[in-house]
């Protein structure tokens, strides 16, 4: 299917690694020009070179998105490079384990800046360009807002905010033809996830237990599976889809718990 994304300029925050990298590579394979907005120029450029080696186009801007001034600067840099923005993928963030018992005001607020505030700021500053292009916004979220996890109050709150902003922006931006959707991720295999597993006493056992809880195929979602849905939602092939929280999770969140395989 031709998603008609050729030469569309799409900002992907946190696009150098993990899910963000997967989204950038699929967008580039569809002919779009993903622009990575991330804190590490070396990581950004490594992904740009990887995409170029695969025959695609990509660019990058250095942005420490936890700083409130960074999103505006990133958007302006993209506009100076390309003169347009056709899509925004808010993806950057991490589960930082700021809980109710072990947290603090400072830690909670820092986590919101890491995981939520820049979602708003990126959309706010990109909005004039998105109005011109009638582009799309895609927010990447986490199951933690719906299921809870324990020990991660700030991240869960941030993801609840991402879900709410998705619906709110979909309403506010109807008049401009700007569609806003979210992909909700459950258990997705990324380098960060692998690093977390390797820190545990028995990584293989933990991985088996996680896989057994995922109904479809008893395996984790891949970043490419997230990316394919992202490309579809950013394209005109999903032209009447807005305000949706779409779970690409192998049925993890919503299917009956009776389907969980017992080890």
Structure tokens at 31: 């002919």
Has residue 214 been placed in a domain? Answer: no
Residue 155 annotated among the catalytic residues of the structure: yes
Over residues 88-147, the pLDDT tens digits come to 999 999 999 999 999 999 999 999 999 999 999 999 999 999 999 999 999 999 999 999
Calpha distance 241→260 (Å, rounded): 31
* Confidence (pLDDT) at 70: 98
CATH code of the domain covering residue 114: 3.40.50.720
Has residue 201 been placed in a domain? Answer: no
SS3 of residue 167 by DSSP: helix
Give residue 48's domain range: 9-188+222-249
Has residue 86 been placed in a domain? Answer: yes
Structure tokens at 108: 């909670």
The answer to whether residue 50 scores a pLDDT higher than 80 is yes
Which listed residue (105, 119, 125, 155) is catalytic? 155
Calpha distance 227→230 (Å, rounded): 5
Has residue 194 been placed in a domain? Answer: no
* Closest C-alpha among 109, 107, 137, 117 to residue 11: 137
Has residue 121 been placed in a domain? Answer: yes
Domain count, the chain: 1
Over residues 145-193, the pLDDT tens digits come to 999 999 999 999 999 999 999 999 999 999 999 999 999 999 998 887 8
Has residue 233 been placed in a domain? Answer: yes
CA trace torsion 81, 86, 90, 92 (10° rounding): -30
Give the predicted TM-score (pTM) of the model: 0.94
* Closest C-alpha among 193, 99, 91, 104 to residue 154: 99
Has residue 207 been placed in a domain? Answer: no
Has residue 263 been placed in a domain? Answer: no
* Closest C-alpha among 223, 179, 171 to residue 88: 179
């Amino acid at each position: 299917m031709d998603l008609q994304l050729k030469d569309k300029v799409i900002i992907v925050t946190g696009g150098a690694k993990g899910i963000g990298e997967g989204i950038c590579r699929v967008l580039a394979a569809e002919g779009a020009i993903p622009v990575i907005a991330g804190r590490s120029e070396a990581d950004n450029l490594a992904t740009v070179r990887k995409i170029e080696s695969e025959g695609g186009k990509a660019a990058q801007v250095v942005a420490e998105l936890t700083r409130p001034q960074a999103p505006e600067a990133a958007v302006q840099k993209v506009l100076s490079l390309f003169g347009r923005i056709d899509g925004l993928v808010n993806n950057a963030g991490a589960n930082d384990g700021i809980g109710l018992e072990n947290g603090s005001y400072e830690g909670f607020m820092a986590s919101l800046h890491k995981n939520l505030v820049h979602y708003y700021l990126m959309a706010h500053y990109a909005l004039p360009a998105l109005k011109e292009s009638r582009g799309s916004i895609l927010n990447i979220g986490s199951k933690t807002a719906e299921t809870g996890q324990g020990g991660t109050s700030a991240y869960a709150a941030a993801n609840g905010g991402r879900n709410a902003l998705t619906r709110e922006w979909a309403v506010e931006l109807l008049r401009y033809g700007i569609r806003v959707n979210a992909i909700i991720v459950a258990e997705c295999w990324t380098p960060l996830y692998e690093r977390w597993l390797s820190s545990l006493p028995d990584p293989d056992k933990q991985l088996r237990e996680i896989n057994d809880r995922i109904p479809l195929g008893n395996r984790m979602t891949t970043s490419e599976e997230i990316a394919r849905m992202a490309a579809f939602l950013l394209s005109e092939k999903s032209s009447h889809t807005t305000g949706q929280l779409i779970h690409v999770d192998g049925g993890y969140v919503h299917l009956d718990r009776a389907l969980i395989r017992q080890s």
